[in-house]
Structure 1
Amino acid sequence: MQKMAATPPRFDQQFRNQFRQLLEWRRDVRRFDTRPLPDGLVDELLDIANLSPSVGLSQPWRFIMVDDVERRAQVTADFEQCNRAALEQFSGARAARYASLKLAGLREAPVQIATFVDVNPDQGHGLGQTTMPETLHYSSVLAIYSLWLAARTHGVGLGWVSILNPGVVKGICEVPDHWQFIAYLCLGYPLEEHTEPELQLSGWETRRSLGNKVIRR
């Protein structure tokens, strides 16, 4: 017998305003306070992330808690090498500006999570993946975003470090071959709070209105 549907919640205008405020205050944090997060908070945040939508209900996200000091040092070393290589693609004033950016909080963030996608998950039965297998990756990114927003509600910042060699991080974390690296996440209390993206504050880029990002056919 099909289970009766629960009565859905009703979200009022105050909640909708607060939700928009949450999105406005979500930042990609690079400057962290080193103090630890409360016991159990990370587990609570990951439990919320696990509510994210996924193709075929496959839940392909895999979170590796990187607590070991040596493994963290190896990730930091890889970031520094990749960052030097990335700098070479710029020249002149843009290169100087890139060099001035703080692009990771790897030395300060108390919590570090390497996120992977299991491209052969033991659930979902392949539903929705035949023509677009990359939907597994998209599902994992949605889980990261859910984690990001949930962290913000606790005053916790999240920084997504993408200047890394996926193969190196995969080796550091010793994960199965069929897992693919998605993101390296730093979590902690931010030292600074801004409604504007740090890259905008630094003059790297400006957030633009929708403009021609919405096209009607």
Structure 2
Amino acid sequence: MTPAERLFAWRRDVRHFRPDPVAAWELDRLLETANRAPSVGLSEPWRFVRVDTPARRNAIRANFLASNAQDLAGREGEDARHYATLKLAGLDEAPHHIAVFCETDPAQGRGLGRATMPETTTWSAVMAVHTFWLAAAERGIGVGWVSILDPTDVRRTLCVDPDWQFLAYLCVGYPKQPSDTPELERLGWEHRNPARRRWIWR
């Protein structure tokens, strides 16, 4: 494996973190690297928000618990029992919380590339998340994406522009045990599909 291939192999969604914080300069470096991600029309529509205030973190945790309970209530039988055993967030363990938003129609970039596909600003912001994630993995820092949240409540809790699109709530810190296998696969929730490794020809 090349170094780049090893990086992709070890990039996992982390939910178990050590308590020691990441140095401020390291986090700044990750943000700087994320800002090198490509974006439609050079619009740079991503907005990274550090969530350090205990009250806001507690509100996000309450949001997650309510959203997770709602998801669980919609499941039945073995699926519900299995879902209830999964650890789906590292909110209590991760030393750093980072919310990522997208300004879907920024003035920057002057609309280039968005006339027929305005959603490309969202995709650009997701590219920045992925760039942040890979940069973190390269430095031995873990990232976990919490997606079981109510977006409106997140925007209100973090006092951001109500027009910003909520994309990701990231738990960031040093992983307790790095792995090259997704936790959901290890726990038997889902497995990679070999069909995805083949081209679709037209």
TM-score normalised by the shorter chain: which range applies? over 0.9
Cα distance in 2, alignment partners of residues 94 and 203 from structure 1:
11
Where 1:63 maps in the other structure, the secondary structure is strand
Residue 189, structure 1, aligned to residue 174, structure 2: yes
Residue 36, structure 1, aligned to residue 14, structure 2: no
Scaled by the length of structure 2, what TM-score is found? 0.97
How many Å apart are 1:209 and its aligned residue?
A: 2.1
Where 1:159 maps in the other structure, the secondary structure is strand
Stretches of structure 1 lacking an aligned partner (at least 5 in a row): 1-15
Cα distance in 2, alignment partners of residues 63 and 159 from structure 1:
15
2:33 to 22, 28, 48: 48
Give the root-mean-square deviation of aligned CA atoms.
1.2
1:115 to 75, 94, 100: 100
Scaled by the length of structure 1, what TM-score is found? 0.90
Q: Which has the larger radius of gyration?
A: 1
Matches within 5 A, 1:68-83: 68-83=53-68
How many Å apart are 1:212 and its aligned residue?
A: 7.4
Per-residue CA distance 1:155-212 (angstroms, 9 max, x = gap): 1000000000000000011111221101100100111221110000000000122457
2:80 to 86, 95, 119: 95
Cα distance in 1, alignment partners of residues 147 and 99 from structure 2:
11
Contact 1:120 1:178 in 2 (8 A): no
Over 3 Å counting, the alpha-carbon distance change for 1:55 and 1:211 in structure 2 is closer
Residue 153, structure 1, aligned to residue 132, structure 2: no
Per-residue CA distance 1:23-61 (angstroms, 9 max, x = gap): 000000011111111231100001000000000110000
Residue 130, structure 1, aligned to residue 115, structure 2: yes
Amino acid aligned to 1:119: T
Cα distance in 1, alignment partners of residues 159 and 182 from structure 2:
33
Contact 1:55 1:128 in 2 (8 A): yes
Alignment: residue pair count: 202
Identical amino acids, percent of aligned pairs: 48
1:65 to 25, 50, 71: 50
Contact 2:18 2:94 in 1 (8 A): yes
Cα distance in 1, alignment partners of residues 11 and 33 from structure 2:
16
Amino acid aligned to 1:188: G
Contact 1:66 1:112 in 2 (8 A): yes
Per-residue CA distance 1:104-126 (angstroms, 9 max, x = gap): 01111111111000122131001
Where 1:194 maps in the other structure, the secondary structure is coil
Cα distance in 2, alignment partners of residues 190 and 67 from structure 1:
19
